Chain A
Amino acid sequence: MAWRHAATKNGVPHVIVYLVRRLLQLVPVLVVASFAIFLVLHLVPGDAASMYAGQDATEEDIEALRRAMGLDEPVLVQYGRWLRLVFQGNLGTSLISGYSVVRLVSHALPASAELAIAALVFALLVGLPAGILAARFRGSVVDVAVSAYSSIALAIPNFWMGILLVLSFSVGLRWLPASGRVAFVEDPVGALVFLVLPVVTLGIKLSGVFARYTRSALLEVYGEEYVRTARAKGVHERAVLFKHVFRIALIPIVTVAGAELGNLIGGVVIVEAIFAWPGVGRLMLQSIVSRDFVVVQGTLLILITIFIFINLAVDIAYGLLNPRIRLS
């Protein structure tokens, strides 16, 4: 942690300078990303007015509604109006539901966070032991099996795995619900039952990543001289593993876990769509279907911000775990 106290620039700790710079970088990234998203969304056929009006509406009815929703203005004008609202701290109001985007996201985000964190825990619970066993018994059948597992887990796309699990455990065996969510506070057992399939779908790829990283990190540390010394001193193999090897190997593993949490956001969108999980992914999907672009735009802005903050936190955590890393 020496960098925390020692490194300063004009009296300001380096970490503060670093944080301020990264946060300032956030603004142009968000503006450029939001403009790109805005343009892409407006290339999609259909708009909220025609979706809201329904199939029995006449062209005149739809045009009037378009005017009322402000969708008749040029795209750039619409974007400018939205951006002005954002800088005032307002992400806009849904054209369909009438709710503010902040309210919609605040309801959906906990469900997504629950899914992402549960998937991360699942991946760690499966990936870490698998990686440890593979390293401990290098070249054995266990090692080959873990390698095969991680290769398959990495190769299978989320959406395909999700459909496969639903077909097997919901449609076929009827053991687990195909979709939906129960809040933990209401029914903890029910919540776990609903979590199983989406968590496995989302976490399986990550468990493969962890197994592979853990194995290679452990093997690298196993090769160090101090490990050989410990063994030569007659330290029990379990103590060698957990006291001398695993602690050191944990640094890259924790870093990967942090980085993958950010990547999970992308996976969450797909998995929520498959399992009708009421999180931000499903909110976005429904908003795209109903062409409620204000919600899509606002939700994406929040997701991008979260993604950037997670990456920032990972960078800082990396520095905290490894004193050799300096933030400059």
Chain B
Amino acid sequence: MRIKIIRLLALLLLSSLLVNGLAQNQQPSQGGTLTVGRAMDVSNFDPTNLATANNIMMLQLFNTLVSLDENLNAQPELATSWEFSEDARSLTLTLRDDVTFHSGRPFTASDVAFSVRRYQDEQVGATMRASALLISDVTVEGDHTVTLHFDDPQPTILDFLDMLFIMDEETADSIATNPIGTGPYKLAAHVPGNEIRFERNEEYWKEGRPYLDAIVVRVIGDAAALLANLETGTVDWIERPSYSDLNYLDALPDIVVTVPESAPLTTSIQFNTSRSPLDDQRVRKAIDLAIDRERYTSLYFAGFADPMWVAPSMHALVEEEDWYQELGRDVDRARELLNEAGHGDGIELDMIVTTSIVHTGGVILAELVQQDLAEIGIQVNIDVAEGASYGDRSRAGDFDLRGAGYGRANRDPVTLLTGTSAFRPESNLSFYVNDEYTQMVQAAIGTIDEQQRRDAYRELARFIVDEAFILTLSPAYSYAAGFDWVRGVTTNVEGFFGFEEAWIDR
């Protein structure tokens, strides 16, 4: 099964690379309007709010200081170069001097300082506030030089700078509805709930970019409607088709399914470790061993994802190690562990999941878990909660098991381990408290030597799998599909789609 999935992914990747390769061999043509279909409208245009709904606008309207490539190496964007101090307690960046905001005002170092402070402002509610708070101070050294200071060594801070979208101080108060960035497109119109129109930024600092004149984003109800709209040519390209439609789409002669290089999200199960019997590591591990990840990925992701036991960024570090390759379903061992923990007669657990336009798999996950755990005598009661109620209950610890995805899954593990409610040592949503874990995470954060840091991550990966306070099941990719004449659409590490290089080949 795994070989089949890998072959399928390899084929898709190959076809995607071929298409991209062809695109690279041809001279991109200027002009044209691309019509994009997606299931939901943006919540707002504030780039500090990383709601899934907002993904489509980020890279069109805003730039970051650096951009991580597929190997997580930082590439220049608004910063042309950067240098860490020896103790990694400060980072000095040299900025481009030829960049203007959509308003026409030149971009300077003070905009970087303002953007950092805005991410840190508790009243803004930035998704990445925890990472922004790693920066203790910002010094503007000149119009185009800025230094970030940290209380502790932060050798992985570039990971955050890939998500720090630069905002215009003068217009930031109205950024939710009137976004002014430095990105390749300007917001031309927004009809809430219906349509967004981006138009080419004629003053864009990258020579000759973007190629398109405009992008029209149509908000089209749901996955089934997205598919119908693409098939009928009402739209040229769709974001996040349903996983169950991927095989169908890929078989269409003039449609190309885009396979991203890495997955920013995962699917997982979190335990409430503050409750009995899930405070017992043996019970959690028994559940881990009883869950059939192969069946889950093949049923829900239609074979377009492989099982995983840790986040993709950590998976890449340990996938060749023996202990990791031996992981898999083992119902007999699961029963043994339950017996050892004194629960051979069975347990009853409550599992909460939620479902929405973008997270439709919660119920499927819960039903599969229910079936798997029944084999080892665990009865799972499924409770499908509405989004806000699910959030409240999760934070209040009103659950035994919780079906939940987590983000930042393919970034540097520091961002994952300190910035997400799934893994941060304090106040994680598994209510998992362990001094050893806290110390391991803190040690990894402060390790300047890259090789030593990677070793620390490997140890953490094994610790997380052994302790099983959260069970990673699979990556969740940001797929897209479009006509084969739509070229050059890119995704960044966070899974955001970019149209800076996009062009129409017909």
Contacts and interface: CB of A to CB of B under 8 A. Distances in A.
A159 interface: no
Interface residues of A, number: 49
Contact of B225 (A53, A107, A178): A178
Given A50-B388, A99-B177, A290-B43, A278 B193 contact: yes
A276 B394 CA distance: 28
Interface of B is mostly: loop
A113 to B, nearest CB: 15
B225 A177 contact: yes
Contacts of B356: 289
Contact of A64 (B122, B176, B220): B122
Interface stretch (A12-20, A138-146, A179-187, A247-255): A179-187
Contact of A54 (B50, B225, B389): B50
Interface stretch (A41-49, A84-92, A236-244): A41-49
A103 B192 contact: yes
Interface string B366-392: 000000000000000000001111011
A316 interface: no
Contact of A97 (B44, B123, B224, B225): B44
A229 interface: no
Interface in B162-180: 174, 176-177
Given A54-B50, A98-B44, A46 B391 contact: yes
Contacts of A56: 127, 130, 407, 419-421
Contacts of B392: 45-46, 50
B117 interface: no
A57 B193 contact: no
A96 interface: yes
A171 B46 CA distance: 36
A108 B194 CA distance: 9
A73 to B, nearest CB: 15
A107 B391 CA distance: 30
A53 B176 CA distance: 15
B222 A276 contact: yes
Contacts of B129: 57, 61
Sorting the interface of chain B by its residue count into under 10, 10 to 19, 20 to 34 or 35 or more gives 35 or more
B50 to A, nearest CB: 7
A276 B49 contact: no
A286 interface: yes
Contacts of A44: 388
A57 B224 contact: no
A3 interface: no
A10 interface: no
Interface in A81-121: 96-99, 103-104, 107-108, 111
A278 B122 contact: no
Contacts of A98: 44, 46, 174, 176-177
For A47, A98, A103, A181, the residue with the greatest tally of chain B CB atoms inside 10 Å of its CB is: A98
Given A55-B429, A278-B194, A46 B388 contact: yes
Interface string A266-296: 0000000001101000110010011100000
Contacts of A307: none
Contacts of A67: 123
Nearest to B390: A46
Nearest to A291: B388
Contacts of B43: 52, 96-97, 290
Contact of A180 (B49, B221, B420): B221
Nearest to B387: A289
B341 interface: no
Interface in B416-433: 419-421, 427, 429
Contact of A45 (B50, B125, B389): B389
For A56, A104, A190, A286, the residue with the greatest tally of chain B CB atoms inside 10 Å of its CB is: A56
Given A55-B429, A56-B407, A98-B177, A180 B225 contact: yes
Contact of B234 (A50, A182, A275, A282): A182
A34 interface: no
Interface in A173-230: 174, 177-182, 190
For A44, A51, A67, A103, the residue with the greatest tally of chain B CB atoms inside 10 Å of its CB is: A51
A151 interface: no
A36 to B, nearest CB: 21
A47 B388 contact: yes
B221 A276 contact: yes
Interface string B222-250: 10110011000010000000000000000
B122 A97 contact: no
A9 B270 CA distance: 73
A133 to B, nearest CB: 36
B251 interface: no
A58 interface: yes
Q: Which 8 A-B pairs have the closest CB atoms?
A: A276-B221, A46-B388, A98-B176, A179-B221, A64-B122, A68-B123, A278-B193, A65-B125
17 contacts: A45-B388, A45-B392, A52-B43, A53-B127, A55-B394, A57-B421, A58-B130, A60-B122, A65-B123, A67-B123, A97-B176, A97-B177, A98-B174, A99-B192, A107-B192, A178-B224, A179-B221
Interface of B: 43-44, 46, 49-51, 122-125, 127, 129-130, 174, 176-177, 191-194, 218-222, 224-225, 228-229, 234, 356, 386-389, 391-392, 394-395, 404, 407, 419-421, 427, 429
